[in-house]
Structure 1
Amino acid sequence: MRIILAFILLSLGSNSFANDSIVIRNLSALRIEQAPKIDGYLDEDVWKGAEIATDFTQGEPNPGEAPSQKTEVRVLYDDEAIYIGAIMYDVSADSIMRQLSNRDDEGNTDVFAVMFDTYNDDQNAYGFVVHPTGVQWDARYSASQGQDVSWDAVWKSEVRIDSTNWYVEMKIPYSAIRFSKEDVQVWGINFGRKIRRFREMNWWNTLNPEIDGLVNQFGQL
């Protein structure tokens, strides 16, 4: 996933943290009985009860520092799929960099991403990325083989932009990914947001540049 990993390499290559420990954040997904409509509007009641992932930190250009803009993410699930709702706060719609491009094309644009380590093995992950124009990226990542951008899953996303912010809704069917058959599961997860005009990449679970690896620095779902 070049659009993510290019920034990760920068994020892990400069500045330092106070120590080399990995801080693991936790987020609970809310089970729902009725799926939300995937339209970019997060106004349905099902979203209101979900825990919020926020307080992102920079991976680039100033690792560990507060981001320039606020981001909030919520996670829902049912028997069919997992649902992501994200709000990327900004100062105005004109500040949101966007560019029409083909699927899996990097583009010169802002980005929202979610990555799942479905076996919580700190080694393998699936990534799902959306541009403000609605363009989708997806890829698989492994510690041994790196990223596989040729992998394409079938999933749904919609984007909405208002006068200041942009919004993403995703539906990722379980059929698109592999995971354990256990009744109770813990997945690794991280959310990323690129603010292109500042060359800034922000992460929910902090990526410590003094620690090797990506998936091993995810939070938990």
Structure 2
Amino acid sequence: MKTLIGAARLAAALALLPAAAGNAGAAEPIRAFKAAAPPIIDGSLSDPLWREAPSVTGFTTWRPDFGQVVPDPDQTIVWFAYDAENLYFAFRAPDSDPARIQASVARRDTIISDDWVCINLDSFGDKQSLYAFYVNPRGIQYDSRYAAGTEDPGFDVVWYSAGTIDTEGYSVEVRIPFKSIRYDGGDPVRMAVV
């Protein structure tokens, strides 16, 4: 397991694919953006990094209606970046009826009945295993690992998140240290976010 990698080795190696693209092979990968400075993980999205990093939208729902296309005013936007030690993600999830947002103040790993955003990180690029990082609108976490079609919900790693709810929806920021995940080495390191 590699725990830290040089930023140059990760450059242009992460790919984020919109779920709405259907066949993942049909989507054009978006390369990760190298952060000049780490963002403050506070859920506000005011950090300059999120104005520079690439974004993606066009996602579909998972629960309760799998595969449903989200209407334009409520389309989630995701930004992502990296530095020598971390992966960074920011989510803006507009909601035309923010009173409907489900966001409990709960213990870690107990948010599945809430609204949430999720990062599915295929760190080996094998399409057989992944890390799942869920965050509710208040920044509460749930993480698990999938391998050979089986989920390990007891899996816990160190990562950081924050969320804020406002009158137009919610925002979430995430920092995942490379030392918290396993991945194949290489030059460059390749991972997929699906």
1:117 lines up with 2:122 in the alignment: yes
Residue equivalent to 1:48: 51
Residue equivalent to 1:129: 134
How many Å apart are 1:60 and its aligned residue?
5.5
| Cα separation, partners in 2 of 1:143 and 1:162, compared to 1, 3 Å | same
Q: Distance in 2 between matches of 1:116 and 1:31?
A: 18
Counterpart selection for 2:144 from 120, 139, 142: 139
Q: How does 1:72-91 map to 2 (within 5 A)?
A: 72-91=77-96
Residue equivalent to 1:34: 37
Q: How does 1:166-177 map to 2 (within 5 A)?
A: 166-177=170-181
Which consecutive residues of structure 1, in runs of 5 or more, have no partner in the other structure? 1-18, 191-221
User: Residues 140-173 of structure 1, C-alpha deviation per residue, up to 9 Å, x if partnerless?
Assistant: 10125x0111111011100011111100000100
Q: How many residues in Structure 1 have an aligned counterpart in Structure 2?
A: 171
Q: Distance in 1 between matches of 2:63 and 2:26?
A: 18
Residue equivalent to 2:11: none
Which consecutive residues of structure 2, in runs of 5 or more, have no partner in the other structure? 1-21
Is contact 1:101-1:107 (8 Å) kept?
Answer: no
Is contact 1:100-1:107 (8 Å) kept?
Answer: no
How many Å apart are 1:59 and its aligned residue?
4.6
Q: TM-score, normalised by structure 2?
A: 0.80
Is contact 1:72-1:87 (8 Å) kept?
Answer: yes
Is contact 1:99-1:107 (8 Å) kept?
Answer: no
Is contact 2:123-2:192 (8 Å) kept?
Answer: yes
Runs of 4+, deviation exceeding 3 Å: 19-25, 58-65
User: Residues 110-158 of structure 1, C-alpha deviation per residue, up to 9 Å, x if partnerless?
Assistant: 01110101110011100111112322100110125x0111111011100
| Cα separation, partners in 2 of 1:130 and 1:59, compared to 1, 3 Å | closer
Q: TM-score, normalised by structure 1?
A: 0.71
Q: Distance in 1 between matches of 2:167 and 2:158?
A: 30
Residue equivalent to 1:179: 183
Q: Distance in 1 between matches of 2:159 and 2:84?
A: 15
Amino acid at match of 1:180: D
Residue equivalent to 1:149: 153
SS at 2:186 equivalent: coil
- Percent same amino acid among aligned pairs? 30
How many Å apart are 1:62 and its aligned residue?
5.6
Q: Distance in 1 between matches of 2:112 and 2:123?
A: 28
Q: How does 1:199-218 map to 2 (within 5 A)?
A: none
Q: Distance in 2 between matches of 1:21 and 1:54?
A: 14
Q: Distance in 2 between matches of 1:31 and 1:109?
A: 32
